[in-house]
Amino acid sequence: MRILIVDDVPDNIRVLSRMLADEGHQISMANNGRQALRVAAASTPDLILLDVMMPELDGYATITALKADPRLAPIPVIFITALADAEDEAHGLGLGAVDYITKPFKEAVVRARVRTHLELKRQRDILAELSTFDGLTGIPNRRALDARLAQEWRRLARSGDTLGMLMIDVDHFKAFNDRLGHLAGDDCLRRVALTLAGELKRAGDFVARYGGEEFVCLLPGVQPEGLAAIAEQLRAAVEAQHIPHEASPTAPWVTISLGAALCQPASDQSPTRLIDAADAQLYLAKAQGRNRASLAASG
């Protein structure tokens, strides 16, 4: 695990670094609050040990800045400080610290508390990861999609690059369930999800289950011809699975319809415009006979 130690006294950093490196942790160091914020942003540590009394930016101001940054706010912070009054401890905990250790500290106490909070963070990380995956298909879920879309929208708004979206629906899925039952329907959705995920080869491409029998792909940096090619690749790959679908009037096996949209994200606009555009194209693909993609550029 990565630990950032922040203290303006070199001896304190040296003792804490030795102690925690012996436990197998990777150690980063900063001797003031401003440097700590830069190091934390660059390395995203799993835990921060933070002194209170430092020049320029003290520990209280530093933790306030950490908690104001959505990327850094989840990092647990333990104050290690000479301020021993109960009011100081209450203030530090009130600002969001998970623990408060007074100096002179005892090595056994520091080791034990660090182990405790790293284990708690590890468990939170596991729960957070599980909460972003769809339990049926094993691919990311709607929550993960919303977070990824917001992240890509901000990033591409800065870079000026494009973002493509494919909205995908399994054709006549209700009829499939009615004919074969929900267990077969679940297996069908798993196979479709794995097929879609397996076909996305570019770095940054992302597929998630949107809900029910719908899936969404995000394709950053794609151009119109590339978007069309990926849509056809996914359509053909699902059809090639030849999952029997006797109740479908479209084909004797499971097929998908796709709605595709492309835009250049802007910081003053919402990503819902891209979702709406892709959803409108999906409606057209269904109206035109299904087992096809309908594409449109969105400005």
Of 119, 213, 214, 225, the active-site residue reads 213
- Cα separation of 218 and 200, whole Å? 10
β 256-263/163-170 pair status: antiparallel
DSSP-assigned beta bridge partners for residue 211: 214
The H-assigned helical ranges of the chain are: 10-21, 33-43, 59-68, 86-94, 107-130, 142-159, 173-180, 182-199, 224-240, 272-287
- The residues, any chain, with a CB within 8 Å of residue 246's CB and separated by 6 or more, are 179, 252
Q: Would you call the peptide bond into 74 cis, given omega within 30 degrees of 0 as the criterion?
A: no
Residue type, 120: L
Q: Are 168 and 215 in contact (CB under 8 A)?
A: yes
Q: Tell me whether residue 87 is one of the annotated catalytic residues.
A: no
Using the structure block, give the residue that is written with the tokens 């040296």.
14
Q: Are 7 and 16 in contact (CB under 8 A)?
A: yes
Residue 257 in 3-state DSSP?
Answer: strand
- Cα separation of 43 and 60, whole Å? 21
231 exposure class (CB count in 10 Å sphere: 0-12, 13-18, 19+) = buried
Residues serving a catalytic function are 213
